Chains A and B, each alone.
Chain A
């Protein structure tokens, strides 16, 4: 089976999206409540700098959520649902509009590009990049 290479980053379609960069929400997910907490390591010389960021966590179970779900159900075409449309039919339905498929080839390209970019950021004294050195070690071992 052959696949066509198309740019990543769009929406819809099938397969795995490989966005070139992540959005603010995704950045917030990673850096605000994860990672090492400095207070646990440093107590005397901490600087209590004011942080503007807010907790972006959503409350998943709420009255608003329930009303939204109910409205989504209300909007559905009941005749269709009444026939117990199963997943395979959904998949078929989706494939009909699957004109903007994203494929691995493009994604793989994105990975390589990203890594080339980051290799320019830091380097080890011994000159080896991370990928090269790890591959090298594995080849030897």
Chain B
């Protein structure tokens, strides 16, 4: 064991929580997840060797797994990946005690809520068909590059690509609005995530009352069916409220 170690912080929970044995966190080898309590709040932590870099695939999944597992049972405020403090005392005196009120407020607001992420991606050929059929200018450019070598049509291709790119952005924006409108009756909040792919149709995080999860899924399933052949949609969750917990100060 290394002489230098710190305390990796996953998130904040209420202090009337127990971590069951057998749960392991980040690091290699991973240490057990424990709680450091202070008054009404507590930090989910595990010991890490500070000489070893963090960020392996296993570390990222461990961070996520600890938070999602906790969020399945109690409200939790997720920390961004990579938060390490020097001692247990520091966790109490610098993190938990001075911010107890705001953490408690935030945890109260999250009581009974959970997060889902809806992520849809266009089918490329359906997308291009759709855009071209709505855009005669782009169609004319396609005719120009048809069967021509890339070298001699680069400018035309860029022009066409930009037209298509702009059209796809407009579709993404419109389809994102469709998602938001569809889920608004059952969600507490939505947060639009940036696209992670140029053919993303929508990427939306939703905070929902756990009791409304089934209804949310029904709504999104109907939406996904209406997009059949045009876009593929997936729903991730329930998960910790990553998109709805923000640091407002500094």
A25 → B minimal CB distance (Å): 7
Residues on A with C-beta less than 8 A from B240 are 30
Residues on B with C-beta less than 8 A from A119 are 72-73
How many angstroms from the CA of A118 to the CA of B98 in the assembled complex?
30
- Say what secondary structure dominates the interface of chain B: mixed
Residues on B with C-beta less than 8 A from A111 are 213-214, 217, 238
User: At the interface, yes or no: B12 with Cβ under 8 Å from chain A?
Assistant: yes
How many angstroms from the CA of A66 to the CA of B169 in the assembled complex?
12
Q: A30-B239, A70-B145, A107-B221 are in contact. Are A122 and B69 (CB under 8 A)?
A: yes
How many angstroms from the CA of A134 to the CA of B112 in the assembled complex?
6
Partner of A73 from B74, B79, B164, B243 at Cβ < 8 Å: B164
Q: Which chain A residues numbered 50 to 79 have a C-beta less than 8 Å away from chain B?
A: 50-53, 56-58, 60-61, 63, 65-76, 78
Contact in complex: A68, B198 (CB < 8 Å): yes
How many angstroms from the CA of A76 to the CA of B164 in the assembled complex?
14
Contact in complex: B245, A36 (CB < 8 Å): yes
How many angstroms from the CA of A14 to the CA of B221 in the assembled complex?
9
Question: Contact size class for B?
Answer: 35 or more
Contact in complex: A53, B80 (CB < 8 Å): no
Contact in complex: B221, A16 (CB < 8 Å): yes
Contact in complex: B94, A69 (CB < 8 Å): no
Q: Which chain B residues numbered 21 to 65 have a C-beta less than 8 Å away from chain A?
A: 23, 48, 50, 53-57, 60-61, 63-64
Interface residues of A (CB under 8 A from B): 11-19, 22, 24-47, 49-53, 56-58, 60-61, 63, 65-76, 78, 80-82, 84-87, 90-95, 98, 104, 107-108, 111, 114-115, 117-126, 129-131, 134-135, 137-138
Interface residues of B (CB under 8 A from A): 6, 9, 11-13, 16-20, 23, 48, 50, 53-57, 60-61, 63-64, 67-75, 77-87, 90, 94-95, 98-99, 111-112, 117, 119, 123-126, 128-130, 132-133, 138-139, 141-143, 145-146, 150, 154, 156-158, 160-162, 164-165, 168-169, 193-198, 209-211, 213-214, 217-218, 220-221, 223-225, 228-230, 232-236, 238-240, 242-243, 245-247, 249-250
